[in-house]
Amino acid sequence: MSATIAPKLSEVEHVKIASRYLRGTLVDSLANRLTGALNPDDTHLIKFHGSYQQTDRDLDSERKQQKLEPLFSFMIRVRVPGGVASASQWQRMDALADAYGNGTLKLTTRQTFQLHGVLKRNLPAAIQGFNAVQMDSIAGCGDVNRNVMCNTNPHESAVHHEVYELAKTISAHLTPRTTAYREIWLDGSLQESTEAVDDEPIYGHTYLPRKFKIALALPPYNDSDIFSNDIGLIAIEENGQLLGFNVAVGGGLGMTFGLPETYPRLADVIGFVPTAQVVEVCEKIVTIQRDWGNRENRKLSRLKYTIDRAGLPAFVAELHQRLGYELAAARPYQFHSSSDAFGWTGDPTGLSQLVLFVEGGRVLDRPGYRIKSALREISSFHTGDFRLTGNQNLILGNIEARHRARIQAILEENGAAPKAEQLTRLRRDALACVALNTCSQAFAEAERYLPQLLDKLDAVIRTHNLADAGILIRMTGCPNGCARPYLGEIGLVGRAPGRYNLYLGADHAGERLNKLYREMLDEEGIIRELTPLFAAYAAQRQPQEGFGDFVVRQGYVKATTHGLNFHE
Amino acid sequence: MARQAAEAASKRGLPATVQDMNEYAPRNLAREQVLLLIVSTHGEGDPPVAAEELHQFLGSPRAPKLPDLRYAVLALGDSSYLHFCQTGRDFDERLATLGARRLLDRVECDVDYQARAATWIADALDKISTELTPVASPTTASPAAVIHAPENLAYTREHPWSAPVLASIQLNGRGSTKETYHMELDLASSGLTYEPGDALAVLATNEDPLVEEVLRAARLSDTELVALSGEELPLAAALASRRELSVLTRDVIERYALLAPQHAALRELATDAQRLQPYLYGRDVADLLSEFPVDNLTAQVLIETLRPLPSRAYSIASSLLAHPDEVHLTVGAVRYEAHGRRKHGVCSSYLADRIAVGETARVFVEHNEYFKLPADPATDIIMLGAGTGIAPFRGFVEERVELGATGRNWLLFGNPHFTTDFLYQTEWLQHLKRGGLARLDVAFSRDQAAKVYVQDRLLENSREVFSWLEGGAKLYVCGDKVRLGSAVQDALTEVVRREADLPQDEAIAYVRNLRKQRRYLEDVY
């Protein structure tokens, strides 16, 4: 082969190049009344503005018959760095969901709010709506750094607050500088129009080759699943003081069926950095990915592939060179769990927290379960905050003592109180992505179906007295990994309508990937395969042994020790 | 019908020519000797478009004296309208005023016009033969039958084509307040043809529940035999397929009031047009019979009191060039709750609910000579349609695409909601992409706080509209007469006033002139 082959850039790269810093023809697309869709190129660009164009896939074929285009609508992802929203922000999102969305809010696995079903003509009003409460959706999606996650440690501490503040600083530092977002969505609502800025000192005009994710965690809690991120930052605390962070690089869960060169991968810890240098380290890692990342094949362009292609030592060396100094050796740390601890904590006479189970992260009202109404009412007096966890749940933080009873009563009246005794831990810790009917990637159901599957699995779980065993189950409609299925002790990944691949053997703290156990199972097959495993686990587990560790120890699956041996 | 008359005349050796009022120079009337005039009445007693000019001329001071003219008028109308056969009456009286002499008294026909019309033709020709033969010399000016009537076709109301239904598709997406059907009917082996702009008349039947409701209210048996046009049939069958039940009209009220002298309120309604209109609204025959029961009502009297079930005409939504052997319709299902019962438009519910794919509908074509594409394929056209008013424009654009017409096509469409009511959206987007449409503008009235209609889009694009008009474009309007027809006329006048910088009266004259030149055409209902 010739030594110099001009790289053939992917289509999206060309769209970015022509976009004039993410402007494209979005203004024309929005003005076009004849279609609910955007111009094709703009569908790539709007992701950088935090939105995906989707269709109601349940109606696609029906509407085609009716000589109507697909029912196009938009998902808008609103960034909440560290997952902490104020009561007024919650109120606004609640109202926007009703005014412009499908009446529900989705709390995502990356601590963002998602509005679904927003029609094109309502996009500016929706975006102006959350802008008015200091929230934005820029870089909610797209080839840039996405929402920065931080674990929502309910045990308020000064260290946790410092970690959270750092999450916000990183987020702000890596937010695109282009004024396209302001011009397109907000100018009509602003006093003065925006002066265009065409400069991206960190990203450059073609941004990153692919999405980029950063998460921070304060051990022993890993509910932000930091190892699934391009950069994971592990807070190191000593005697109540934050010293700095261990840096992990190269995590990412997406893969493509049939392409073994794609694989989920957990981040490698490469060293320790004092808090003051964390932003700089993140920026340099981002710039290496900017320069080294694959821009020809988007399936191979995440940082994890960049690192495995160059080799981790070469990558670290480049980082050290760009920094002008070396990272220190990583400090010891220990994670115990990646799930949420539900219920009340804190000081009954001072401030307390309530970790609230939100099934599928979907905030809605349905008969007997009116969590949306309950939270709306609570937001009218609650002086604390609303914290979105990485597990699609919600923490009501800093609840004043005088509000405790009232909040509990409102939740109970609306059927939204956490009834821990009624729910198996399997259900409480379950994660599901949105999938059908709106996600264009989905091959199979996830959020709409998992509760029904859990009804059946719960019966098996209870039969074996495993209702209190923390077993992480995660379901996605495709292999891209939004609900982090490869970190599930049970991972179910959609292959076709009603058919899932079953993965087993991840650990409970988000530090080991699972492995393929069975393919193309229907519901009956899933139950048939899991029933004997639950029975064996109930009978033969060791004290404190997680389900994932158990199936590995018993040899049901081999442990996955690195992304590169995930498929083995 | 005029052709029928001309054929009948030539069989008797009477040379006759058929003239379209629209093409006829009014001054030539002074040279005619015998005139058989056939004319219908539209809307509120107005002449049809084609008759407007002649109608106006005969009433103007410029009209010549016509002492040598012998004439007869056949007036077509619908007795459910207040001004029944008004245009025929106007012509009859104006010709008399100008000194012309009647061959026959005027004959007025209702929706079941065929028999009376045939008699009128025969009577008129008898008169001509017996009284005027010497005059009807072929060397002199020939008698002219000035006509306005549908072209005579093989398929008629009496002899409809039974068209198999090929497809029936609900065009409105889920959640719409509208219910519009795209229907495809098979013309294969019928030899039936049409042109875009024509209408398809459908002979529907009444739904069973309504027939039963009428029988119950009339306290009559379904099997009782009645005599109707020389045949005997059970009352239920006569009601189902031969009598209008779903709509109540003035003539029925008048006849029924005579049967029910004990109901003073009914008598008052029959004589007070102001109160009659609101009463008729939303009521059907069953409502009338239940509200004003008549003792001893017989089946025969009931049948004679009710009016014949007319055909319903739908603007054709297809081009034969694009869909050989097919005719497509865009049917808005009419359903509402009124006076305690759920009600359905007779024909729309017949098409939407009661005939399935594979079954047949009885149809015939009603030609519309005026709502036609320009003869010159290079002429631009602007089409404004609201709701099912989109129908003829689908045919127009398909036809122009098939013909490779070079004139530009601009469609403006309106309906309540974008996501559910953009009728034929994917087809229009294809046409736009491939050049079948040069422009497409839409107005979805209820998608924003302030209602927006097609006429608003016309105004927003006033410069472009005016430039198209100045370039010779023809403008077509199809939809609701009151809400769309007059609104577009006002908007168009404003476009002209604004863009030509004309005073209001001159802008009005400009628009009137467009109509006169047949460049501003309406198919409104």
Distance of CA B506 to the CA centre of its chain: 31
d(CA A114, CA A474): 19
Q: What is the total count of domains within chain B?
A: 4
Tell me the shortest Cα–Cα distance from A58 to chain B, in angstroms.
11
Distance of CA A27 to the CA centre of its chain: 29
Q: A121 contacts in B (CB within 8 Å)?
A: 418, 447-448
In the structure encoding, which two tokens stand for residue B255, read together? 């006849």
B228 inside domain: yes
Residues B287 and B180 both lie in one domain: no
Residues B288 and B331 both lie in one domain: no
CB-based contact A66 B173, cutoff 8 Å:
yes
Residue ranges making up the domain that contains B411: 381-524
First to last CA, chain A: 30
Over residues A170-213, the pLDDT tens digits come to 999 999 999 999 999 998 666 666 677 778 999 999 999 999 99
Residues B12 and B125 both lie in one domain: yes
A324: left (phi over 0), alpha (psi -120 to 50) or beta: left
E strand spans, A220-333: 231-238, 241-249, 268-274
Find the angle CA(B302)-CA(B304)-CA(B307) to the nearest 5 degrees.
Answer: 100
The conformation of residue A336, written as its DSSP 8-state character, comes to -
B58 inside domain: yes
What pLDDT is attached to residue B134?
55
What pLDDT is attached to residue A194?
67
CB-based contact A68 B425, cutoff 8 Å:
yes
First to last CA, chain B: 23
Tell me the shortest Cα–Cα distance from B224 to chain A, in angstroms.
45
A127 Cβ contact partners less than 8 Å away, ≥ 6 residues apart: A49, A76, A136, A137, A185, A186
E strand spans, A381-428: 385-388, 394-400
d(CA A264, CA B280): 72
Average pLDDT of the residues of chain A:
94
What pLDDT is attached to residue B497?
97
- Which residue in the list A433, A484, A495, A512 is annotated as catalytic? A433
Residues B400 and B427 both lie in one domain: yes
In the structure encoding, which two tokens stand for residue A84, read together? 């902490």
Find the angle CA(B82)-CA(B88)-CA(B90) to the nearest 5 degrees.
Answer: 90
CATH number of B275's domain: 1.20.990.10
The CB-side HSE value for B210 (13 A sphere, CA atoms) comes to 24
What pLDDT is attached to residue B148?
40
pLDDT along chain B (525 residues), means of 10: 85 85 81 90 81 85 87 88 88 92 92 86 89 49 38 74 96 97 95 95 96 96 93 96 94 93 91 90 95 93 95 96 96 94 93 93 92 97 97 98 97 98 98 97 96 97 98 96 92 97 96 93 92
Strands A84-86 and A105-107: unpaired
User: Percent of chain A scored above 90 by pLDDT?
Assistant: 90
Please answer whether residues B66 and B29 qualify as being in contact, where contact means their C-beta atoms are separated by less than 8 angstroms: yes
Tallying the residues shown for chain A, one arrives at: 568
Reduced to 3 states (helix: H, G, I; strand: E, B; else coil), residue B208 is helix
Q: Which residues pair with B225 in a beta bridge?
A: B234
Residues B231 and B129 both lie in one domain: no
d(CA B160, CA B182): 21
Over residues A525-568, the pLDDT tens digits come to 999 999 999 999 999 999 999 999 999 999 999 999 999 999 99
Residues B98 and B220 both lie in one domain: no
Higher pLDDT, A198 or A464: A464
Active-site residue A282, yes or no? no
Find the angle CA(A396)-CA(A402)-CA(A408) to the nearest 5 degrees.
Answer: 50
- Short-list A121, A115, A124, A122, CA closest to A187: A124
Cα four-point dihedral sign B346, B351, B352, B354? positive
CATH number of B119's domain: 3.40.50.360
- Short-list A280, A279, A291, A333, CA closest to A315: A291
The CB-side HSE value for B18 (13 A sphere, CA atoms) comes to 17
User: Does the structure show a pLDDT above 70 at A421?
Assistant: no
| Burial of A507: CB neighbours in 10 Å, binned 0-12, 13-18, 19+ | buried
E strand spans, A389-480: 394-400, 431-432, 473-476
- Which residue in the list A482, A484, A512, A515 is annotated as catalytic? A482
Weakest-pLDDT range from A120-124, A378-382, A407-411, B107-111: B107-111
Please answer whether residues A92 and A99 qualify as being in contact, where contact means their C-beta atoms are separated by less than 8 angstroms: no
d(CA B396, CA B387): 16
Question: Of the candidates B182, B419, B424, which has its C-beta nearest A36's C-beta?
Answer: B419
Torsion of the alpha carbons at B241, B243, B247 and B252, rounded to the nearest 10:
180
Name the one residue in this structure whose structure tokens are 């087993």. A504
Active-site residue A482, yes or no? yes
CB-based contact B427 A67, cutoff 8 Å:
yes
| Cα distances (Å, whole numbers) of residue A270 to A244, A263, A264, A326 | 14, 21, 19, 10
B154 inside domain: no
d(CA B257, CA B271): 10
d(CA B444, CA B453): 7
Active-site residue A150, yes or no? no
Reduced to 3 states (helix: H, G, I; strand: E, B; else coil), residue A311 is coil
Tell me the shortest Cα–Cα distance from B440 to chain A, in angstroms.
8
Q: Residue-wise over B481-499: b if at least 16 C-beta within 10 A, else e?
A: eeebbebbbebbbbbbbeb
Please tell me which residue of chain B has the smallest CA distance to A64: B426
CB-based contact B173 A65, cutoff 8 Å:
no
B267 inside domain: yes
Q: What pTM did the predictor assign? A: 0.87
d(CA A503, CA A486): 7
Reduced to 3 states (helix: H, G, I; strand: E, B; else coil), residue A273 is strand
Over residues B72-100, the pLDDT tens digits come to 999 998 887 778 899 999 999 999 999 99
d(CA B47, CA B68): 25
What pLDDT is attached to residue B128?
87
CATH number of B330's domain: 2.40.30.10
- Biggest distance spanned by C-alpha atoms of chain B: 73
CB-based contact A34 B182, cutoff 8 Å:
no
Distance of CA B98 to the CA centre of its chain: 31
B247 inside domain: yes
What pLDDT is attached to residue B143?
36
Q: A64 contacts in B (CB within 8 Å)?
A: 426
In the structure encoding, which two tokens stand for residue A149, read together? 């996650």
Q: Residue-wise over B273-284: b if at least 16 C-beta within 10 A, else e?
A: eeebeebbeebb
Q: A68 contacts in B (CB within 8 Å)?
A: 171, 173, 419-420, 422, 425-426
**What is the average per-residue pLDDT within A65-76?**
97
d(CA A29, CA B363): 44
In the structure encoding, which two tokens stand for residue A133, read together? 């409460």
Residues B486 and B519 both lie in one domain: yes
The conformation of residue A548, written as its DSSP 8-state character, comes to H
Please answer whether residues B266 and B279 qualify as being in contact, where contact means their C-beta atoms are separated by less than 8 angstroms: no
d(CA B475, CA B443): 18
In the structure encoding, which two tokens stand for residue A443, read together? 């091959």
B264 Cβ contact partners less than 8 Å away, ≥ 6 residues apart: none
d(CA A479, CA A471): 21
d(CA A411, CA A375): 8
What pLDDT is attached to residue B145?
42
- Short-list A537, A445, A420, A541, CA closest to A495: A445
d(CA A501, CA A493): 5
User: Does the structure show a pLDDT above 50 at A2?
Assistant: no
Residues B181 and B70 both lie in one domain: no
Please answer whether residues B88 and B118 qualify as being in contact, where contact means their C-beta atoms are separated by less than 8 angstroms: no
Residues B520 and B393 both lie in one domain: yes
Q: B440 contacts in A (CB within 8 Å)?
A: 34
Reduced to 3 states (helix: H, G, I; strand: E, B; else coil), residue A161 is helix
What pLDDT is attached to residue A553?
98
What pLDDT is attached to residue A322?
98
B151 inside domain: no
d(CA B129, CA B144): 15
What pLDDT is attached to residue A418?
63
- Short-list B348, B350, B441, CA closest to B393: B441
Residues B192 and B249 both lie in one domain: no
Chain B residues bordering chain A (beta-carbon distance below 8 Å)? 169-174, 182, 418-420, 422-429, 432, 440-442, 444, 447-448
B375 inside domain: no
Tell me the shortest Cα–Cα distance from A452 to chain B, in angstroms.
26
Active-site residue A322, yes or no? no
**What is the average per-residue pLDDT within A498-527?**
97
d(CA A550, CA A541): 6
Find the angle CA(B56)-CA(B58)-CA(B64) to the nearest 5 degrees.
Answer: 140
- Short-list B416, B444, B445, B411, CA closest to B428: B411
Active-site residue A141, yes or no? no
User: Does the structure show a pLDDT above 80 at A444?
Assistant: yes
What pLDDT is attached to residue A111?
97
Residues B337 and B393 both lie in one domain: no
CB < 8 Å from B in window 11-70 of A: 33-36, 59, 62-69
B325 inside domain: yes
Residues B396 and B290 both lie in one domain: no
Please answer whether residues B266 and B238 qualify as being in contact, where contact means their C-beta atoms are separated by less than 8 angstroms: no
What pLDDT is attached to residue B140?
30
